[in-house]
Structure 1
Amino acid sequence: MNNQGSVSSIQMSVLFLAFITGSSIVLIPGPLTNAARNGAWLSLFLALALGMVLLACVLYLHRVYPRMSFIEYSRAAVGKWLTLLLAIPYVTVMFWHVAGIVIEIGGFFNNTMLRETPTYAINTLFFATIAMTVRAGIEVIARMSVLLLMLMLGFTIVVLVMVAPLYHPEYLRPVLPDGIRPVLHGAYIAYGFPYSELTTFAMLLPFVRKQEQTKVGKFLFWALILNGVTLAASILCSIMVLGPLSGDLKYSLYQLARLIYVQEIVERIESVIGFSLIAGSYIKSTIMLFILSKVLAQLFKLQDERLLIFPVALICLLLSITMYSNEMSLDEAVNATWPLLDNAAYTLPLLLVMAVTLVKRLRKPPASA
């Protein structure tokens, strides 16, 4: 960890916000509205509440084991062999996860901007870039994320403001046209992407500088709330403009940007939303590749995890090219399989370690006066 640097609590919260907002600000409104219709914003807040519970668990373990990552305090809590057993699905799903992010960005390019460019060329360029960024270390990633996150959120706000003349608030009613079940289905989708993924940040919290460890929890919760507000605004604005079509159109924010037209002066600005997706996916895949390399290095007790970065990136590249034969199978995996895999690989190991830690602390005899 030392050769990778350290970050402040604010920088860690920016990384966290970029990670959970990232590509989700463009990708989540469509599938969520398709599942929950006008109640999509309710689904989001239900998923956000579950995300806050998971973040509280991550921060509790960080307080108990302040200078350890998830793999390190899992060894301390449940032993090295059970940790290795838990790490097998953790690492496997993370490989699939990194590849899936890049598959999404490749699909976006093929459907919108670069229709004639082969997917393998886009994915190769993307993985080469994120691998070099990961090799530069956590400090570089954090500084870069601040700038990209500001641009990403700024472009999104500009689009939502400029499309305001097309808003139809009446499209938001009725809130529950088909009852509560679609809302629960939407909450399941939003919980799986992006909120169940935040448990992987247990690998990064030891990088926060020692003197700022006590402040990081507060900043992470504020980042999570800001994420919820941003995604809710994107969903509500998409519904107010596109109405019933908002659930049927992929990349709904991109579709909103295409509708902006101001006196033949400002038009066709959907490229800024394309930039937002590229920047968000780049940040998220960079952080995930960094975490994956860190997990593998700690499992195999390597002194320098940078030796793994390019081989791991190559494996993820091959997975991104070969995993899915068509876009429909990817969408089905994201909406149905992804939440289950995230829970099995990321959430359950964390909850198991937390339960064992709680039992040990309860059984520990009080210190004698």
Structure 2
Amino acid sequence: MEKQETISPIQTVLLFLAGMTGSSIVLIPGPLTGAARNGAWLSLLFAFLVGMILLACILYLHHCYPGLSLIEYSRQAIGSGLSLLFAVPFILTLFWQESAIVMEIGDFFKSTMMKNTPTSFINAMFFITIGLTARAGIEVMARMFVVLLFIMFGFIFVVWVLVAPYYHFEYVLPIMPDGIKPILHGAYISLGFPYVEIVIYSMLLPSTRPQASQKLGKYMFGALAINGVTLIISILVSIMVFGPVAGDLKYSLYQLARLIFIEEIIERIESVIGISLIAGSFMKASIVLFILAKAMSQVFRITNYRLLILPIALIALLLSVTMYSNGAAFNEDGYTVWPLTDSLVYALPTLLIVIVTLLKKTKTGRHPT
């Protein structure tokens, strides 16, 4: 029998914050500004509010089904057959997501710092690292990611401060030069990534120590607020520095770091910033791999999820180097198809389970545990 791993509510929240902010801080500001222009921060705010609703849903289900994950309590709520119907696309989407995170890491290194290194080699090194990290378990990840999380947020704050001389507040206006349509387009993009993904972190909640989980909900809403504020400020900083061309820059925070130059004392720090941002993607990739292994072990009723991690990592590695022939095809899927897929695979089943649970509670007068 596999030993049950448990972590504190604070550690659960830090893992949630690492997953939500990890790769989105690198990837979201550029494409979102490209879609919504000066109103990109409004788009993210709309998506953030929907994310709050989804977080409330998974916390409600965690309260109704203590100690159970999304895969496990879906069987109780909607039956094994329908639960399996939702679990299969859930797992397949997690495979795509895991591969996509590492593909973006490889593309980042290839286009910025390691231009002569084959992407397949970069991806392989990352999958070995995240595979070993996820296999170490949630307790090890929770302790390890505390340091990485503070480093990542610390360097993000440093960039905001050191590029302050380049701020042009007039670039933020007008907020909606082309009306509401681009804002809604941006909201669609940021809803699919990262806010609908909130659902997958429900797989982490059963590992929280039940005797200390009374304030878990408050902490998680606080972490989501930190995520939203960080992304909004990063978008606004990018717009205030780069103006109309902000939407054309793929890794805007990295590009901001390249501008930092203080009296020949502080300069060329973009590599350090790049490594700290990649640490965020590393954390998210490790967490998603852990969640994927957990989900598959529960669907196929395998007692030890660690047996699945390395085979899953190998499959995801092969997907990461074969799914797309170029970055344009990947970006088209990532910012057009992915938000819809996320909504159908993650959000829709969760909302259905919430509705069924509420109906059962209304009928019986108690939670269907």
Counterpart CA distance in 2 for 1:272 and 1:33 is: 24
SS at match of 1:92: helix
Amino acid paired to 2:89: P
* Equivalent position of 1:172 in the other structure: 172
* Equivalent position of 2:63 in the other structure: 63
* Equivalent position of 1:122 in the other structure: 122
* Equivalent position of 2:269 in the other structure: 269
Give yes or no for contact 1:65–1:73 (8 Å, CA) kept in 2. Answer: yes
1:348 to partner: Cα distance:
1.1
* Residues 10, 2 of structure 1: alpha-carbon distance in 2 compared, 3 angstrom cutoff: farther
* Equivalent position of 1:323 in the other structure: 323
- When the two structures are superposed, what TM-score results if normalisation uses the length of structure 1? 0.98
Give yes or no for contact 1:105–1:277 (8 Å, CA) kept in 2. Answer: no
Q: Deviations over 1:247-304 (max 9, x none)?
A: 0111011111111111112111111221132111110010100000001101111111
Q: Does 1:278 align with 2:268?
A: no
* Residues 293, 243 of structure 1: alpha-carbon distance in 2 compared, 3 angstrom cutoff: same
SS at match of 1:194: helix
Counterpart CA distance in 2 for 1:291 and 1:26 is: 22
Give yes or no for contact 1:101–1:285 (8 Å, CA) kept in 2. Answer: yes
Give yes or no for contact 2:2–2:303 (8 Å, CA) kept in 1. Answer: no
Amino acid paired to 2:328: M
1:88 to partner: Cα distance:
1.1
Give yes or no for contact 1:23–1:278 (8 Å, CA) kept in 2. Answer: yes
* Equivalent position of 1:11 in the other structure: 11
Counterpart CA distance in 2 for 1:267 and 1:148 is: 23
Give yes or no for contact 1:8–1:209 (8 Å, CA) kept in 2. Answer: yes
CA RMSD of superposed structures (Å): 1.3
Amino acid paired to 1:117: T
Q: How many residue pairs are counted as aligned between the two chains? A: 367
Amino acid paired to 2:259: L
Amino acid paired to 1:341: T
Give yes or no for contact 2:196–2:346 (8 Å, CA) kept in 1. Answer: yes
Q: Deviations over 1:59-105 (max 9, x none)?
A: 00000001111111011111111111111110111100000000000
Q: Deviations over 1:113-146 (max 9, x none)?
A: 0000001100000000011111111001111111
* Equivalent position of 1:232 in the other structure: 232
Counterpart CA distance in 1 for 2:50 and 2:345 is: 17
Give yes or no for contact 2:134–2:286 (8 Å, CA) kept in 1. Answer: yes
SS at match of 2:213: helix
* Equivalent position of 2:38 in the other structure: 38
1:353 to partner: Cα distance:
1.2
Amino acid paired to 2:223: A
1:331 to partner: Cα distance:
1.0
Amino acid paired to 2:64: V
Counterpart CA distance in 2 for 1:149 and 1:35 is: 29
Amino acid paired to 1:338: W
Counterpart CA distance in 1 for 2:246 and 2:65 is: 45
Greater than 6 Å deviation, 4+ residue runs? none
Give yes or no for contact 2:98–2:316 (8 Å, CA) kept in 1. Answer: yes
1:198 to partner: Cα distance:
0.8
Counterpart CA distance in 2 for 1:2 and 1:30 is: 43
Give yes or no for contact 1:4–1:139 (8 Å, CA) kept in 2. Answer: no
1:57 to partner: Cα distance:
0.4
Give yes or no for contact 1:4–1:137 (8 Å, CA) kept in 2. Answer: no
* Residues 61, 245 of structure 1: alpha-carbon distance in 2 compared, 3 angstrom cutoff: same
Counterpart CA distance in 1 for 2:324 and 2:356 is: 38
Q: Which shifted more, 267-276 or 148-157? A: 267-276
Counterpart CA distance in 1 for 2:135 and 2:222 is: 29
Q: Deviations over 1:231-254 (max 9, x none)?
A: 111000000000001001110111
Question: What are the equivalent positions in structure 2 for 1:127-276 lying under 5 Å apart?
Answer: 127-276=127-276
Counterpart CA distance in 2 for 1:96 and 1:322 is: 12
1:17 to partner: Cα distance:
0.6
Counterpart CA distance in 2 for 1:333 and 1:303 is: 35
* Equivalent position of 1:83 in the other structure: 83
Q: Deviations over 1:181-218 (max 9, x none)?
A: 11111111111110000100111100000112221111
Counterpart CA distance in 1 for 2:282 and 2:37 is: 29
Give me the identity figure in percent. Answer: 59
Amino acid paired to 1:9: P
Counterpart CA distance in 1 for 2:237 and 2:4 is: 41
SS at match of 1:193: helix
Give yes or no for contact 2:2–2:304 (8 Å, CA) kept in 1. Answer: no
Give yes or no for contact 1:35–1:186 (8 Å, CA) kept in 2. Answer: yes
* Residues 110, 365 of structure 1: alpha-carbon distance in 2 compared, 3 angstrom cutoff: closer
SS at match of 1:66: coil
SS at match of 2:304: coil
Q: Which shifted more, 1-10 or 31-40? A: 1-10
Question: Structure 1 regions of 5+ residues with no counterpart?
Answer: none
Amino acid paired to 1:125: M
Give yes or no for contact 1:134–1:309 (8 Å, CA) kept in 2. Answer: yes
* Equivalent position of 1:93 in the other structure: 93
Amino acid paired to 1:37: R
Counterpart CA distance in 2 for 1:35 and 1:345 is: 24
